[in-house]
Chain A
Amino acid sequence: MMPRAVRDFRFALLAAALVALCVALARPSWTLPRPAYDLLLVVDVTGSMNARDYMLDGNPAARLDAVKKTLRDLIARLPCRSRVGLGIFTERRSFLLFEPVELCDNYSVVDAAIASLEWRMAWEGDSRIASGLNSAMEIARSLDADLVFLTDGHEAPPLPASGAPPFEGEPGKVGGLIVGIGGGSLVPIPKFDDMGREIGFFAMADVPQENRLGLPPADASSRPGWHPRNAPFGGEAPRGNEHLTSLRGEYLQTLARRIELGYVRLQDARQLEAALAENASRRMIETAVDLSPIPAAIALAALVACYGALPLSRLVGPQRGTSHISHKNERTTS
């Protein structure tokens, strides 16, 4: 004889829940392509990056600190299996600290390495951005990674009249972007002594205001004291704002166009990630998405329906339920 439970809808729901749970236990999954990046982060650590024109937690912060915070946020946002390497730029050269590593396994180390970046790693006062960018492009190409070059664009010493050194590689071979750091207004650059103590700010006479290598600029003959042999750059000491710094956005944009990189001004990790999606080459990786929550949710719904259906139907139609019971009672008592 067939158990009478089989005809009960609650048994059907229980059976459905059981089947759904068994499906969930089988761990169904779906593979989805997700983007991942191979990045080489190169951070400018030259003196001008100590200028304080950012605010972090309500305090004035050096550009380098703002960069470190944004990069640490960025690597937390990057999809798993992205690879990230780190380098620094100072003087005229980019210097690779470590090659790109898989991010999720090595996150804490990469995070600590970014946190330990500081201006003391710089070895010269010079900041020849165009040369540093060229060498960073070369390193990124050899690593088969995209370049994220973070700099304020402050060339020190200033570029000669002939302009930035040419890029000898092949533009477009390496993707990525240049990230402009710094504010729009001129701020002083802190000065440090040999033991790393801050001792004030750079003054106009402390830094070369003009690059006097190579040919003089075309308008030099109109300068006071100009003499074609004895004073081809003019007779007076050059004056200028090279001891102050602000973001040289236009210059960086020119550089970026020349080597076919994107350009973006540093705001936060979210905006940087969006810029990466546009400018860096994405590597699609198959990621398994666990689908077991779906049958599990069905099982839960079935169980809840199973328990909740009868009380609910009583609430909706109390008349029928009570009359049924009273009828039964009547029958059994009489």
Chain B
Amino acid sequence: MKKIAFALAAVLGLSVSMAHAGDKIRIGTEGAYPPFNGIDKDGKAFGFDVDIANALCAEMKAECEIIAPLDWDSILIGLKKKKYDAVVASMSITEERKKAVDFTEPYYSNNLTLVAKKGSSVDPANLAGKAVGAQRATIAANYVTDELKDVDAKLYDTQENAYLDLASGRIDLLVSDKLPAYDWLRSEQGQGFEFIGDAIDVNDKIGIAVRKKDDELREKFNAAIKAIVANGTYAKINEKYFPFSIY
């Protein structure tokens, strides 16, 4: 049964993309990265990515179908095999991925941020000698080791352990992706902490992936992104999830 459904989806995906213009656009998302994309109890996709995708479709006056959940590792393979026409799944635009697919203009940016205890006198411009934590193998960790050379760097295997040491005071400061950290600040453990300084731009832009040379769809998305940002739809969706702009 699973196999049949699989084959059917492939055939459908193929036919849809062949009869592209004016037809249904199939949008894939992962469904495992809340609050950006998730799957609710009824199996329906929700989240920032999904809301943006729906807003874009409304703007393009196109009929859309959200396909989720999808495996992150093979999400671009499904796109190439025409099981869906676009991926709206908080995907960072990287050189490596650009070899396989094309990206639209970014629809949000992932910044790094510094997190410290409320009222602490940490000065973002002068961190020498401070104990600074980050999760190993992340952009945040690279930032700590490359940009903050004279700090006492502590690398953690999970973000949770880094939060624990921030809470216990072993580290003065945490460098983290801003949006997950925002979730932590709202948790009970994160109550006494706050963002300090400005968000750090690490040029991590999130875009919509489309197949190579599918320029028509890409341009339509680009125009729609511009339009929803201009007409306030984007701000409304943004507000639903974050009290600061993530565009």
- The answer to whether A and B belong to the same complex is no
The residues of A with any CB-CB pair to B shorter than 8 Å are none
The residues of B with any CB-CB pair to A shorter than 8 Å are none
